[in-house]
Amino acid sequence: MSAGDTQPAAQFSFAVRHAKRPAWALIGERLLTALIYACGISAIFFVLSIFVFVFKEAAPVLFSDRFDLRQFLFSEQWYPTSEINKRYGVLAMTAGTFSVTALAMAIAVPFGLGAAIYVSEFCGPRLKETLKIIIELLAAIPSVVWGFIGLTVMSKLIVQFTGAPVGVNILNGGIILALMSVPIIVSIGEDALKAVPDSYREAGIALGATRWQLVWRVLLPAAKNGLLAAVLLGVGRAVGETMAVLMATGHAVKIPHSILDSVRTLTANIAAELGEAPADSDHYRVLFLIGVLLFTITFFVNLAADMAVRGIRKK
Amino acid sequence: MSEPPPPCLTTRDLNLWYAKFQALINVTLDIRHGIITSLIGPSGCGKTTLLRCFNRVNERYGYVTTTGEIRILNKNIYDPDVSLVELRKSVGMVFQRPNPLPISVYENVVFGLRIHHPRGTLTRPEMDDAVERALTEVGLWKDLKDHLDRKATTLQLEQQQKLCIARLLPLKPEVILMDEPCSALDVEGTRAIEELMFALKGRYTIVIVTHNMAQARRASDECIFMLLGELIEHSRTEDLFLNPKNPRTAEYIEGRYG
């Protein structure tokens, strides 16, 4: 009987305590939850709406009979302002984007991963902090400043050392892009190495591994997914970069044959021509279509990076 | 009773500091060849620190200072001409949490061989043979011979710990150090590792750190009791548990503190 008495009493006091919370606290809490939810969901909303907007601007020309998708992708003829025969082929610019990115990665990957290994495994704690701050500063330099360096400093050096007729070319853009991608590769690569459990290092050391053997045989295999993600995010940065390559690559629409040739990239082309293209003209819409193409490329690069990172967590 | 085996590992006036904190104070001991010696004592008494001096893995951290000497097979391991790589080849270590590398079972066992041989001097049959022998010795061969390419981190904990012991064997170590090798394992796993220790003793000198007094009692031949960085008592395990000479040892094994 006594148990039956206390049970409702306990429930009652619990109910009373709940009721005593002021109404504004409850509403405030709900509002806050809703607000945070909105912040989280908004990322999806923004990405989708940007894609929809870009695609909507490009769609009319994509589906018109004046336009041939095969010509767009596989022709190197880019004559958007020709009076007689307008041709919209972006192959040369795709080749430009890929060649500059490839060169940038050929420089940035060994350099960035080497720096990540050094910062994570070899240098002392004080130097490590200093280096990390400086590398982050490197990432904070605006891309137009990089472009400026490419245009003035690098191009003179390139002409002087290679004898190329112009200093703004794939080599210039590649070096500038490499310098811009290195900080990303270093900081994400360093995170990946830091995430390798210390017990693996101890296992290797206790078996008599030297530092290099530890890096080659233990750390690189253990961190390979994270390092791959670092590289792919670097690639994403390089593909999407606009201002610096616009200034440093020479802006010539042609398929390059050597690294001393000038090229134009997809991004630089959009940046340079969108302001001059009459709104709603075919030219204007094709530039948006190039945006869709870029979007697709970076989407796949990011997807690959994401899948690589997911691979780490599964372990 | 036969003649006690000769000492294999000796320390003289070993002192160790982590920055300003002294973790080992004048430790002098002789660990005999081919038997199992356990190190016991409450947390923070320096037993793990002492164990980690024997292969100098302590020195990973820059703030460690050591004085005194440790002799293994009559060679002071703190002499300047000692190669850490060679030292660690002859003094293997098993850790508290099984730490196989995230590569295949096969590669884990041959890891030691690979790092101690110049590239290209190991033949496939040699490695196959080493893997079979090491895994047979720790009792994993039957279960794993068809799964040698399996990733070692996906094995059961007990198998992982046995694998961690197996990967030391191809290097033919003199001493095997074990830092609470059973603390992550269940009763069955603990029993299996202890049986493995009995099977390995004789050929290898085994030093085991344990928190578990019952384990020290049933699984070791000699026992060392440490307290606050000092060696308090070292004797045959039965003697230490039945007739402790030092009152502090007696109180510890009775469970008055710890």
The whole-number pLDDT of residue A5 equals: 47
Condensed to tens digits (0 to 9), the pLDDT of residues A288-299 reads 999 999 999 988
- B15-44 residues touching A, CB cutoff 8 A: none
Domain count, chain A: 2
Q: Does B103 touch chain A (CB under 8 A)?
A: yes
Nearest residue, CB atoms, A199 vs list B85, B92, B97: B97
Quick one: closest CA in B to A122, which residue? B60
Percent of chain A with pLDDT over 70: 92
Percent of chain B with pLDDT over 90: 66
- State the CATH number of the domain containing residue A179: 1.10.3720.10
Instruction: Give contacts of A206 with chain B, Cβ < 8 Å.
Output: 55, 57, 88, 92-93, 95
Instruction: Give contacts of B116 with chain A, Cβ < 8 Å.
Output: 208
CA distance B177 to chain A (A): 10
Type of residue numbered B101: L
Does residue A248 sit within a domain? yes
Inter-chain touch A207–B92, beta carbons under 8 Å: yes
Condensed to tens digits (0 to 9), the pLDDT of residues B76-102 reads 999 888 888 999 999 999 999 999 999
The whole-number pLDDT of residue B136 equals: 92
A188 shares a domain with A59: no
CA distance A219 to chain B (A): 10
Does residue A253 sit within a domain? yes
Quick one: closest CA in B to A203, which residue? B99
Inter-chain touch B114–A217, beta carbons under 8 Å: yes
Quick one: closest CA in A to B112, which residue? A207
Does residue A134 sit within a domain? yes
A43 shares a domain with A99: no
Quick one: closest CA in A to B62, which residue? A124
Phi and psi, residue B257, nearest 5°: -145, 175
Q: Are B31 and B7 in contact (CB under 8 A)?
A: yes
A99 shares a domain with A33: no
Condensed to tens digits (0 to 9), the pLDDT of residues B130-155 reads 999 999 989 899 999 899 999 999 99
Q: What is the mean pLDDT of chain B?
A: 90
pLDDT above 60 for B216: yes
Q: Does A197 touch chain B (CB under 8 A)?
A: yes
The whole-number pLDDT of residue A262 equals: 93
The whole-number pLDDT of residue A314 equals: 53
The whole-number pLDDT of residue A273 equals: 93
The whole-number pLDDT of residue B75 equals: 87
Nearest residue, CB atoms, B55 vs list A197, A206, A221: A206
Q: Which of A128, A202, A207 to mutate to test the interface with B (most CBs of B within 10 A)?
A: A207
A40 shares a domain with A185: no
Does residue A82 sit within a domain? no
- Can you read off the two tokens belonging to residue A194? 């830091």
A19 shares a domain with A109: no
Q: Does A202 touch chain B (CB under 8 A)?
A: yes
A135 shares a domain with A52: no
Across residues B226-247, what is the average pLDDT?
91
Across residues B30-37, what is the average pLDDT?
92
CA B23 to chain centroid, in Å, comes to 19
Q: Are A185 and A108 in contact (CB under 8 A)?
A: yes
Contacts of A89 (CB under 8 A, 6+ apart): A71, A72, A73, A74, A75, A76, A77, A78
Instruction: Give contacts of A122 with chain B, Cβ < 8 Å.
Output: none
Q: Does B115 touch chain A (CB under 8 A)?
A: yes
- Can you read off the two tokens belonging to residue A131? 């280096």
How far is Cα B142 from Cα B135, in angstroms, rounded to an integer? 8
What is the SS3 assignment for chain B?
CCCCCCEEEEEEEEEEEECCEEEEEEEEEEEECCCEEEEECCCCCCHHHHHHHCCCHHHHCCCEEEEEEEEECCEECCCCCCCHHHHHHHEEEECCCCCCCCCEHHHHHHHHHHHHCCCCCCCHHHHHHHHHHHHHHCCCHHHHCCCCCCEHHHCCHHHHHHHHHHCCHHHCCCEEEEECCCCCCCHHHHHHHHHHHHHHECCEEEEEECCCHHHHHHHCCEEEEEECCEEEEEEEHHHHHHCCCCHHHHHHHHCCCC
A92 shares a domain with A28: no
Condensed to tens digits (0 to 9), the pLDDT of residues A107-142 reads 999 999 999 999 999 988 899 999 999 998 988 999
Nearest residue, CB atoms, A207 vs list B97, B112, B153: B112
Q: Does A208 touch chain B (CB under 8 A)?
A: yes
Inter-chain touch A209–B84, beta carbons under 8 Å: no
Domains of chain B, start order: 7-254 (3.40.50.300)
The whole-number pLDDT of residue A16 equals: 56
The whole-number pLDDT of residue B145 equals: 87
Per DSSP, the residues of chain A read -HHHHHHHHHHHHHHHHHHHS-HHHHHHHHHHHHHHHHHHHHHHHHHHHHHHHHHHHHHHHHTSTT--HHHHHH---EETT-SS--EE--HHHHHHHHHHHHHHHHHHHHHHHHHHHIIIIIS-HHHHHHHHHHHHHHHTS-HHHHHHHIIIIIHHHHHHHH--S-S-SHHHHHHHHHHHHHHHHHHHHHHHHHTS-HHHHHHHHHTT--HHHIIIIIIHHHHHHHHHHHHHHHHHHHHH--HHHHHHSB---S--SSTTS-B--HHHHHHHHTTTSPTTSHHHHHHHHHHHHHHHHHHHHHHHHHHHHHHHHH-
- B78-97 residues touching A, CB cutoff 8 A: 84-89, 92-93, 95, 97
Range of the domain at A26: 2-63
A163 shares a domain with A15: no
pLDDT level of residue A14 (50, 70, 90 thresholds) = low
A129 shares a domain with A23: no
Q: Are B73 and B8 in contact (CB under 8 A)?
A: yes
Q: Does B104 touch chain A (CB under 8 A)?
A: no
A171 shares a domain with A248: yes
- Can you read off the two tokens belonging to residue A190? 């360093």
Condensed to tens digits (0 to 9), the pLDDT of residues A40-91 reads 999 999 999 999 999 999 999 888 888 888 999 999 999 988 888 888 999 9
Across residues B10-28, what is the average pLDDT?
92
How far is Cα B141 from Cα B162, in angstroms, rounded to an integer? 11
pLDDT above 80 for A313: no
The whole-number pLDDT of residue B98 equals: 93
Instruction: Give contacts of A218 with chain B, Cβ < 8 Å.
Output: 101
Q: Does A7 touch chain B (CB under 8 A)?
A: no
| Residue A310 or residue A126, greater confidence | A126
Instruction: Give contacts of B89 with chain A, Cβ < 8 Å.
Output: 207-208
Inter-chain touch B99–A202, beta carbons under 8 Å: yes
A101 shares a domain with A248: yes
pLDDT above 50 for B34: yes
Across residues B116-123, what is the average pLDDT?
86
Does residue A209 sit within a domain? yes
Q: What is the mean pLDDT of chain A?
A: 88
A271 shares a domain with A214: yes
pLDDT above 60 for A1: no
pLDDT level of residue A4 (50, 70, 90 thresholds) = very low
pLDDT above 80 for A2: no
Does residue A118 sit within a domain? yes
Q: Which of B60, B111, B174 to mutate to test the interface with A (most CBs of A within 10 A)?
A: B111
Does residue A71 sit within a domain? no
Inter-chain touch A124–B84, beta carbons under 8 Å: no
Does residue A79 sit within a domain? no
Inter-chain touch A205–B60, beta carbons under 8 Å: yes
The whole-number pLDDT of residue A152 equals: 92
Inter-chain touch B88–A197, beta carbons under 8 Å: no
pLDDT above 60 for B108: yes
